[in-house]
Chains A and B, each alone.
Chain A
Amino acid sequence: MELAFYIAGVVAVISTFLMLTRLNVVHALLYLIVSLLAVAVVFYTLGAPFVAALEVIVYAGAIMVLFVFVVMMLNLGKQGVEMEKQWLTPGIWTGPVLLAGILIIEVLYLVRVGTASLPTGAVEPKEVGIALFGPYLIGVELASMLLLAGLVGAYHLGFRKDEKQEIQHGRDTYERRATASGNSVLARTDRLARTP
C-alpha cells in the first residue's frame, strides 16, 4: 500500500517536471494530465477516494478540456493541421502513455485488493459532506457565488465584439480625416454612400 503511494508520487513528480520543461504547449498539456491523474491516485492511497474522483472528473476532465479547447482554437486552418501532425508523432505520446500505463496498472492492483487497501481511519465521503454542509456552509455559498462570477466574467471577456462596429469605427475615422484635411467632396461622398 505504501509502495503504491510512493510510485504514484514519483510519477506525479516526473510528469510535472517533464511538463515544465516541454517547449510545446500540447506536449506540456499531455504531461499535465498525467500529473493530475497521478495526484488522484495519491489521494486514493491516502484514504480520500471522494477527492480522488473529483480530481479526475473536474481537473483532468473539465479544466484540461478547457485548456485543450483554447489551444486548438488559437491555431486554426491548414497551419494548425500541419502542426497537429507534428505534435502527434509516436515519439511524443510514448512518454505520457508510459507514465499513464504505470498508473493504470497501479489502479488495477488497488481495485483488485479492494477497500482493504485503504489506510485505517480514512475520512469517508459522508463525513466530508456533513462537514461541508455543517460548519462550512457559508464557504459553499461563497464558492457558488465565485463560480457565478467566473461564469459571467468568462462570458463577458470571451464575447467577440461585433465586427460591424469596428468597420463603422474605421469609416468614421476615415470621414473625420477627410473632413479635417479639407477634402469636403470625399467626406460628403462617403457620407452619402453610408446613408441608405
Chain B
Amino acid sequence: MLVRRDLIVVLMSLEVMLNAAGLAFVVAGARWHQADGQVVFLFILAMAAAEVAVGLALVMQIYRRFKSLDVDALSEMRG
C-alpha cells in the first residue's frame, strides 16, 4: 500500500531505491575486488539521471494540468 501520496516524494523514494541497488553493486565489487560493481553503479547513475529528468518534467505537466501533485488526483484515466 502506498502511504505517501505526493508525486515528488514518490520520485525521491525511487532515487533511494536506485541508490540502494547501486550500493549493493559497489559492496559486491569491493568484496571480490572487481571493477564490475563500480561500472554497473555508473550505469545506474546515468539511468537515474535520465529517469529523474523525465519524471520531473512529467510532474510539472501534471501540476499544470491538475493543479495538484496528489497521486489520487490521477486515478481517473479519462483522455
Residues of chain A at the chain B interface (Cβ within 8 Å): 16, 19-20, 25, 28-29, 32, 35-36, 39, 42-43, 46-48, 50-51, 54-55, 58-59, 62-63, 66-67, 70-71, 73-74, 119, 121-123, 127-128, 130-132, 136, 139, 143, 146-147, 149-151, 153-158, 160
A39 near B19 with CB under 8 A, answer yes
Closest to B33 in A: A121
A132 near B42 with CB under 8 A, answer yes
B15 near A32 with CB under 8 A, answer yes
A74 near B54 with CB under 8 A, answer no
Q: Contact size class for B? A: 35 or more
B16 near A16 with CB under 8 A, answer yes
CA distance A102 to B77 in the complex (A): 47
* Residues of chain B with a CB closer than 8 A to A29's CB: 12
CA distance A128 to B29 in the complex (A): 11
* Residues of chain B with a CB closer than 8 A to A119's CB: 30
8 interchain residue pairs of minimum CB distance: A150-B50, A157-B57, A154-B53, A158-B57, A131-B35, A143-B46, A127-B35, A154-B57
**1/0 contact trace for B4-15 toward A, CB 8 Å?**
101011011101
A153 near B57 with CB under 8 A, answer yes
B38 near A128 with CB under 8 A, answer yes
* Residues of chain A with a CB closer than 8 A to B74's CB: none
* Residues of chain B with a CB closer than 8 A to A131's CB: 35-36, 39
* Residues of chain A with a CB closer than 8 A to B57's CB: 153-158
The answer to the question of B27 belonging to the interface, with a C-beta cut-off of 8 Å to chain A, is yes
* Residues of chain A with a CB closer than 8 A to B46's CB: 143, 146-147
CA distance A81 to B76 in the complex (A): 33
Closest chain-A Cβ to B51's Cβ sits at a distance in Å of 7
* Residues of chain B with a CB closer than 8 A to A160's CB: 64
CA distance A55 to B25 in the complex (A): 14
A25 near B50 with CB under 8 A, answer no
The answer to the question of B60 belonging to the interface, with a C-beta cut-off of 8 Å to chain A, is yes
Given contacts A122-B30, A128-B39, contact A32 B16 (CB under 8 A): yes
**1/0 contact trace for B36-63 toward A, CB 8 Å?**
1111011101111111111011111101
Given contacts A48-B38, A143-B46, contact A32 B12 (CB under 8 A): yes
